[in-house]
Structure 1
Amino acid sequence: MARSRSLKHTAWATGAVLVGALVSGTAPAPADTGGQQASGQTPSHAVVIKRDEHGVPHVYADDTRGLFHGFGYTVAEDRLYQLEMARRSGNGTVAEVLGPDFVPVDIATRSNVDPASIRRQLKALSAEDRAMFDGYASGINARLREVRQDPESLLPREFVDNGFEPQAWSGEDVALLWVGLILNRFFSSSAEVANLQLRQDLVAANGEELGGRIYDQLRWTEDPTAPTIVPRADGGAEGGADGGADGGKGATAPRAADLPAISPGAVDDFRTMQGARTGLADPDERPTASYAWALAPEHTAEGVAVLHNGPQQGFYTPSFVSGIGLHGAGYDLTGYTPVGLPAVLFGTNGKIAWGSTVGSLDTNDVYAEQLDPDDPHRYLYDGRYRDMAKRTDLIRVKGADPRHLDVYATEHGFVQSWDEANDRAYTLRTSWRGREIETLVGWAEAAKAQDWEQYLDQASRVSASITWFYADVEGNIGVAGLGRLPRRPAGQDFRFPARGDGTMEWQGSEPFDANPRAYNPTQGYLASWNNQIAPGLRADNANFSQVDRVNEIHGEVAAAGLDGAQIWDVTRTTTRADLNARYFVPMITAAAAGLPADDPRRQAADLLAGWDRQLTTTDGRTYDHPGTTLVRAWLTATARRVLADDLPAHVFARYQSLGYPALTAQGSPGSIRPAPVSAVLWNALSGDRSGVPQTVDFLDGAAPADVVLAGLTDAVADLRARFGEDPDQWRTPVVAHRFSRFNAIGVPWAGSDQPQTPAYLNRGTLDFQVELRPGGVEMCSVAAPGQSGFVAPDGDRAPHSLDQLALFEDFGCKADHLTPGAVDAHLESERTLRY
């Protein structure tokens, strides 16, 4: 306690460093006063904050600034340390307080953000829209003033442990958190460099013709058997067509001469940068976050529309999202959103409900810039070499000398990696660049929509790729694929980096009407688990396939007449499903059907036939059924038989991951799906029935059933050697569900404790469900571990920091209170702020 007591006498206002100062090298801007007038007068505007029995705050105010002042204040009450680390994650100042290990994170963040552009966008906002950012910041600052007055009680323990102090906020900080932590993580991935390397390696090993065909079977562009969010029976899209939705990317087979050669070092640098920015273990993949289902009235027992959404943004302590009610200034909502965002991404306003899953529209391109051999900071464009734009940032590092970072950019975007051997640089272009703030404001104001058309009006403002779900009290349901779709030249192969010499420039963008959508589909429901949104809509980093986890959802919600409890309970079976079993267990049982009953392979197949394909555990140590052990062994053995002789060893190594959960140093994985090898094997074993043409026979002339049986033979032999002859002993250890103290990009934002439940659940960071009865909307949710992240200087946790863990583990939910009367009936506390 002595250390925290000394903080009370520290000059808290000194040393505050805002992002603009770091970028430009100028002195820090004055701290936002949080509403305190310069004359010293106390502002007279009132904000009322009421918290319910789970600590969820409801803010009541008459104007936008006051409403968001209250919003920011409540988040700072619950999550001050997490806010600080989210801000630093977003503006690239983590190393300043945590030391040299986080310099790569800061470099990755700053290398894909333009603070000057963000300032221009903020300046161009209307006073009403700007009030959202400034009000949110002023609310945080109001809480900071309270903490300064009583640090012994109110300063979160993590600041004490790490030896630094929270700093004042500005509206720019709020904006940069959105750009650096959310847009950079979820919306800036690309596999074009990885695709180029893969094709290059396959061609080197097999020659141009065969290597190209193998590549096409590993990274296909379209599988007509893949499930789509917009139902195929509804014609693909309400307002979009395959060609328009594809953004003009024709996938013509490239020749080696058409593609740039890339060195391994340039690939590694690109992957390192992308991995640091996204926090993904495999930086070549996009974040695969979130599921949703919307049911029309004719499909539900009560005859009302229902929306269920489970954004999978990772599992953290405290949660990545927190609850909020906003009432006033045109808003009347209850929902959830990531910490530090003023836009409420998931919720209801009593007329409509909204949610989202990650988008599959291709809004990013990598460009291969040809460099001047005499000057690597000049690039060829429109027939002449041009100077790259350059910005020099200072990265302050705790316990070490500061680092100067030169950030270079071309016409297309920021340089992500350099290839000195080939005189090239690789830049990343995103269609949302320059529209970051418009995207956030559109998302925020969608919460005011009263119907589908008003909802789409705001959706049209969103440039980043995201899939929005909708339901309303009139019984309508809908989905739309958002994102500003570039018009690309016909000669550009969307799978690989484009030429940066000016010959592959975007030719404007598609109108929003071209984006895929569906409204009241004939099948009576919509479902997504990050699958393909519409036929023909392709992306460089998504092998959409018939093997898709969304089929687990379809298998549950396709039945009509589900009541609210049954709709909620879909999470119980979908999120515990072995995601490979649906596809391969029938193959295995069919292949073994002719074997004698006492053959160990037949016994193993019969064991699979009686399995419910669920990853359940009774003892908390191993999964109850050996089926998952057998499926995993079969996949490993069959992949070796089918692919090892066709792929270079280092390429085959990438196809040995099976997509099952595993604990990492940072906690549980956020979202599990079938691994790429599962789809490749499915296609090979399906032969002529595959949606992807099999021009290379990975089976080497063998019958598919024989290959399946051979894989079973290997798997059974392996398991008997490891576990013994009794199949009941073939048990896989349970993977615990751990809530990480690291945030989405691997930055610590809590203490050393990492709460966990016994078994990993492939479910939402948040799960919420809205039943839209015309006479009264109801919503329930769970966002484990709890609403608050506050840990007092003495180590005591806030009461609502862990109170949703049991609900999460047991697939329960808590009621959300949507009306003033309901909030008052469940009131835990109330206070009034002045601003």
Structure 2
Amino acid sequence: MQSSQNPVFRRLGALCVAAVLAGCAAGTAPPADSGGSPAGALTIKRDSYGVPHVYANDTRGLFHGFGYAVAEDRLFQMEMARRAVLGTVSEVMGPDYVALDKGSRSGFTPASIRAQLAKLPADDAAIFAGYAAGFNARVREVLADKSKWMPKQFIDAGFEPKADWTDYDVAMVWIGTMANRFSNASSEIANLRLLNQLKQARGDVVGKQLFDQILWLEDPLAPTTVPRTTKLAAQADSPTRGEAQMARLGQVSPEVLVAMNDVDAARRGVVPTETRPTASNLWIAGPSKTTDGSTVFINGPQFGWVNPSYVFAVGLHGAGFDVTGNTPFAHPVVLFGTNGKISWGATAGPQDVNDIYQEKLNPANPHEYLFNGQMRKMGQRTEVIKVKGAPDVSLDVYSTVHGLVTSFDVPNNAAYSMRRSWDGLELESMVAWIRSMQAQNWTDWLAQARRVAITINWYYADTDGNIGYVSPARLPIRPASQDVRLPAIGDGSMEWAGFRPFSDVPQVLNPAQGYISNWNNQPAPGSTGDGNNYGAVDRVNEFNRRFEAKPRLTPDEVWRLNYDTAFADTNARYFISFINEATKDLPPGDPVRQAAQTLARWNMLDEDTRDTGRYEGAAATIMREWLPIMYRKLLQADLPPALLPAYSNPGYANADTVGSIRPGNGSKLLYNALLGSRAGVPQTIDFFHGADKNAMIRSAMSDALAQLTTRFGADQSKWLTPVTRHTFLPKNFIGAPQAGPDETLTLPTYMNRGTQNHKAVLTKQGVTLCTVAPPGQSGFIAPDGRKSGHYADQMQLYKDFGCKPEWLTPAALDANLESTKVLKY
């Protein structure tokens, strides 16, 4: 069934659009007031969905109210977030979380964060201090009346919150859940291991050719958010880049990758780096792309799905702020929202802001390394982890001139350390994000982007019809000889020569195509990294192809992209035409040709519109069966057996999926092989080895049909794949409990969409905003088990692709008011 004919979507999609266009208070909001609060007081007004709007006259009061409201709704979640990023989960949850705490504590330098806090200007410092004071004020109220206000999760876990939050804690929640989570990645050691394995299996020359064909740097066919017609500065490439580096890099012990993956899994609560699903999407239709001349801005940050919601909705009004929207882990900044003049959003940053350095160790002392011709002693600090019901655990954290040591490979006389371009600039980046909420135009907004050192994608729209994108980051100037896919040599010969100017980061204002889209694809031509592997196969094409299918879209059609991409088979569009070409000359009754025709009739959406528990039609099942068979047939002659599993998973959601999905790793290699000489990545190695590609496609389909017949029987109408349910876990992204073990929630069908969605419609008359962020605004459960009325009141809205209006003026809020509270501070 085509999504445009889905009655549920048609009804609630229209409801969302109608709510935004008619129900929200349109127009640029007047200057915010203090909500009628006297001096030294603040007002918190909550709307009918429990969203708090804080009114105050000064910065400290405004963020005091923010922190207080967060503690009302998310006290246990935020307590566990703080413990997760600081590495103190074991103190209250026991030995099972020691590995998590070790991973957290080895990922930052406390002294650096405290020094950055000490340097903040007074008004910026008031943000952190006010938030902490407001949070503590609510904790004191809870402790004074535990029988009424103590969240049940604390009672069940056997500990109580403390009113001891500081500015450091507020900063660290942001650093741990945003900066360290999204700007701390590197695949360089895994890439070196891959290169070693390929060379060992196929020899140095062929092994290197395979490496370049599997893990390329630039594919000119890859879709980019900054259109390829836009020229940006890039570091010059060289045909000899990396040769000397490769010759000097040693082997990597398999145990190093196992240990790194274990730490990473503990730190992030998910799966190893090379198989982890990632992250967010964004699409903006500018005035030239919509039928009514409006700008439609939709963001779906994909943090995974948890209970309580990963994001927190809030309005902040006063002290120069007048913003409404959602933000992860109740950070003291609205990451997805509007101030009535501009709207903004974000997706995960793609820039290469880190380098792993391979340090040569002193054979007589593994804590000494070679740098500039001399052995140096590593820096060291010792962390003591308190463990509930068990002895304390000691952890030594080491560092080199390049940064924190991530792993030791003693058998190969090496250690690896990570240099991060943003070290020491975490709070500068955070404050810039906060101040960007006050921007009134592109110039003001871009000025804040210049201050951001971490890697992030930022998006912009305003009531004048402008749309824009920038991918801020502090980009190193690397040696011309460095291959960024691999670890750098740590002896002093491959040091950075400074940082590139802001003009080098990807950015565009009002692209000629009239829209901006991103689903963690390549930001701009030439913008690559150590593990991105951007190629022609990319899920952002699910947006681009739909945008390009019509000259203009209605606002309803722009919103409906959310539905279409949430259920899109992210592999199918690349292969169905090849399958049909390979089977067109078969007899009409041939099962392989019939399967190809079934695929050709398919809308390439994995839907279950009637909640039957099975995807509709056999096509989804056929594609899922054929694809991994085709991967194996294509690659088994060239890849060592140990590497085949990494390219055999087609990437579909399953019972263990806790985040977003994308095309399988093998799909990029298969599509390039099918394109042959037309591929953007040179096919130096012919994976078909001269064989007829059409014959291989038919053979793989024949095998797939035989397996499906064995599993389901001969009746193809029964070849229906069970749906994957959409699950909201009671653990946060780092793997720490943030709700009770009985608080897992589910929806019938997995949706590959944002953890939240916010939609802003901008015209000359102003901005309207709607959002949806399941399960609900509040995670509060009273001691007697009673849940807040807003505990899960956005689940059905999310399921049906609806969204709730956000009130952008005091009058609109008062017309939809649930409660008012005045606090002194």
Using the size of structure 1 for normalisation, the TM-score is: 0.92
Q: 1:763 aligns with which of 742, 753, 767?
A: 753
Contact 1:184 1:278 in 2 (8 A): no
- State the aligned residue count: 784
CA distance in 2, matches of 1:249, 1:490: 10
Q: Which amino acid aligns with 2:402?
A: H
* SS of structure 2 residue aligned to 1:69: helix
Superposed, 1:509-658 pairs within 5 Å as 509-558=499-548, 559-617=550-608, 618-658=610-650
* SS of structure 1 residue aligned to 2:274: coil
CA distance in 2, matches of 1:405, 1:94: 15
Please name the residue that 2:333 is paired with: 343
Q: Which amino acid aligns with 1:222?
A: E
Superposed, 1:452-531 pairs within 5 Å as 452-531=442-521
403 and 52 in structure 1: CA distance in 2 versus 1, 3 angstrom threshold: same
CA distance in 2, matches of 1:590, 1:790: 57
* SS of structure 2 residue aligned to 1:482: coil
Please name the residue that 1:141 is paired with: 136
Q: 2:725 aligns with which of 733, 736, 744?
A: 736
Contact 1:177 1:340 in 2 (8 A): no
* SS of structure 2 residue aligned to 1:645: coil
Contact 2:470 2:507 in 1 (8 A): yes
Return the offset for 1:492.
Answer: 1.1
Contact 1:780 1:816 in 2 (8 A): yes
1:203 has 2:194 as partner:
no
Q: Which amino acid aligns with 1:587?
A: F
Deviates more, 1:432-441 or 1:588-597: 588-597
Q: Deviations over 1:654-698 (max 9, x none)?
A: 11111111122xxx4211100111101111111111111111111
1:178 has 2:174 as partner:
yes
Q: Which amino acid aligns with 2:359?
A: E
* SS of structure 2 residue aligned to 1:142: helix
* SS of structure 2 residue aligned to 1:120: helix
Please name the residue that 1:191 is paired with: 187
CA distance in 2, matches of 1:257, 1:190: 21
Q: Deviations over 1:399-433 (max 9, x none)?
A: 10001111101111111111010111111121111
Please name the residue that 2:703 is paired with: 714
Return the offset for 1:172.
Answer: 0.5
CA distance in 1, matches of 2:441, 2:177: 31
Deviates more, 1:250-259 or 1:59-68: 250-259
Deviates more, 1:708-717 or 1:785-794: 708-717
* SS of structure 1 residue aligned to 2:53: strand
Please name the residue that 2:801 is paired with: 811
Please name the residue that 2:26 is paired with: none
CA distance in 2, matches of 1:730, 1:467: 41
826 and 139 in structure 1: CA distance in 2 versus 1, 3 angstrom threshold: same
Q: 1:413 aligns with which of 367, 385, 403?
A: 403
1:164 has 2:162 as partner:
no
Q: Which amino acid aligns with 1:588?
A: I
Contact 2:611 2:749 in 1 (8 A): no
CA distance in 2, matches of 1:341, 1:619: 36
Percent identity over the alignment is 49
Using the size of structure 2 for normalisation, the TM-score is: 0.93
Q: Which amino acid aligns with 1:414?
A: L
1:676 has 2:672 as partner:
no
Return the offset for 1:619.
Answer: 3.9
Return the offset for 1:480.
Answer: 0.5
* SS of structure 2 residue aligned to 1:353: strand
CA distance in 2, matches of 1:626, 1:64: 58
Please name the residue that 1:694 is paired with: 683
Superposed, 1:214-253 pairs within 5 Å as 214-233=210-229, 235-236=230-231, 240-243=232-235, 251-252=241-242
* SS of structure 2 residue aligned to 1:448: coil
Q: 2:119 aligns with which of 108, 121, 124?
A: 124
Return the offset for 1:250.
Answer: 8.5
1:291 has 2:281 as partner:
yes
249 and 444 in structure 1: CA distance in 2 versus 1, 3 angstrom threshold: farther
Contact 2:407 2:416 in 1 (8 A): yes
Please name the residue that 1:723 is paired with: 712
Contact 2:245 2:481 in 1 (8 A): no
Return the offset for 1:703.
Answer: 2.4
Contact 1:83 1:339 in 2 (8 A): yes
Deviates more, 1:286-295 or 1:709-718: 286-295
CA distance in 1, matches of 2:782, 2:246: 61
Q: Which amino acid aligns with 1:669?
A: V
1:278 has 2:268 as partner:
yes
Return the offset for 1:278.
Answer: 3.1
Q: Which amino acid aligns with 2:818?
A: E
* SS of structure 2 residue aligned to 1:414: strand
RMSD: 1.5
Superposed, 1:4-43 pairs within 5 Å as none
CA distance in 2, matches of 1:389, 1:638: 50
Dislocated runs of 4+, deviation >6 Å: none
Please name the residue that 2:59 is paired with: 64
* SS of structure 2 residue aligned to 1:357: strand
Superposed, 1:740-759 pairs within 5 Å as 740-751=729-740, 752-759=742-749
Contact 2:648 2:665 in 1 (8 A): no
Return the offset for 1:253.
Answer: 5.0
Q: Which amino acid aligns with 2:286?
A: A
CA distance in 1, matches of 2:161, 2:73: 14
Q: Deviations over 1:412-459 (max 9, x none)?
A: 111111101011111112111100110110011110000001111110
RCO higher in 1 or 2 (8 Å CA, sep ≥ 6)?
2
Contact 1:189 1:285 in 2 (8 A): no
Deviates more, 1:261-270 or 1:776-785: 261-270
CA distance in 2, matches of 1:451, 1:764: 26
Please name the residue that 2:18 is paired with: none
Contact 2:245 2:482 in 1 (8 A): no
Return the offset for 1:251.
Answer: 4.8
1:828 has 2:823 as partner:
no
Please name the residue that 2:413 is paired with: 423
Q: 2:776 aligns with which of 779, 786, 791?
A: 786
Please name the residue that 1:396 is paired with: 386
Q: Deviations over 1:688-737 (max 9, x none)?
A: 11111111111111122222222112111221122112221211111000
